[in-house]
Amino acid sequence: MEISIPPLFTTLRVNETEQVDSVIKELEAKLKILYSANGYSEAPVIFQHSQLKSTIVIPTLYQDIMHSYPPVIVDHGCGMAVLRGADVFVPGILCMPTGVQVGDKVSVCADIGGSCLRGMTRYEGQMLFVGNGVMLKSRNDIFKGNNITKGSGIRMECPIFLSLCLNDVLPSKIFAQNLPSIIVGHVLNPQEGDIVLDMCAAPGGKTSHIVSLLRGRGRLVAVDRSSSKVEKIKQNAAKL
């Protein structure tokens, strides 16, 4: 599966009760602070989508970075997450050299061959370099006595594609959502008095969008197959 190039942009859906121009200005200020705090000289230029007026587009920035440090191999899913702006979480770490300690700089590579085994010290299979970071856990913490199985394992300081996580940025005003998912609500175009059934509603992005488009003039029933998924819908609905 090809993971070497992430989406060229991130899309954010603006809460229908907010003024998009105002949210853009507020978001620009937040991004400047966020990118500066992460050591970057500039933030991407964000803009309103030309057709979907309640959608903000953030371009993904490319950085020319060298594979300079001891390699740490992560699984395919973790590699994709790093390309989208995430740090490396402990469960995604498969292979790292002996002697790597907390605070050491490492080069993170994704196992795209699918043959790297957890706990290996060296891997020569097919892999993809996704950036450089700093270890937050030692090899012993992850693979041996302590066997830590959750939390951040590597803080990504220099990912090759710069797309910072925005989970806690203006949570009541914007929602990170893929463009096709945003389009769904506009294609449905719910009208006054409509009753909408969302049978696979988690995590709640499309559900909350449809609710905002109804503007209190219709009804939406959202369901999913587990209580944890339903709880996630409730959490996102409460934000938006």
Q: Is 204 assigned to a binding site?
A: yes
Q: Is 238 assigned to a binding site?
A: no
The answer to whether 175 and 208 are in contact (CB under 8 A) is yes
Block residue for tokens 């830590």: 148
Q: Is 203 assigned to a binding site?
A: yes
Q: Is 224 assigned to a binding site?
A: yes
Q: Is 79 assigned to a binding site?
A: no
The answer to whether 9 and 57 are in contact (CB under 8 A) is yes
Q: Is 200 assigned to a binding site?
A: yes
Q: Is 29 assigned to a binding site?
A: no
Instruction: Find the DSSP H helices in the chain.
Output: 20-37, 76-83, 139-143, 179-188, 205-214, 227-239
Q: Is 173 assigned to a binding site?
A: no
Angle at the Cα of 111 from the Cα atoms of 108 and 117, rounded to 5 degrees: 105
The answer to whether 120 and 73 are in contact (CB under 8 A) is yes
The answer to whether 151 and 135 are in contact (CB under 8 A) is no
The answer to whether 204 and 222 are in contact (CB under 8 A) is yes
Residues flagged as binding site for S-adenosyl-L-methionine: 200-206, 224
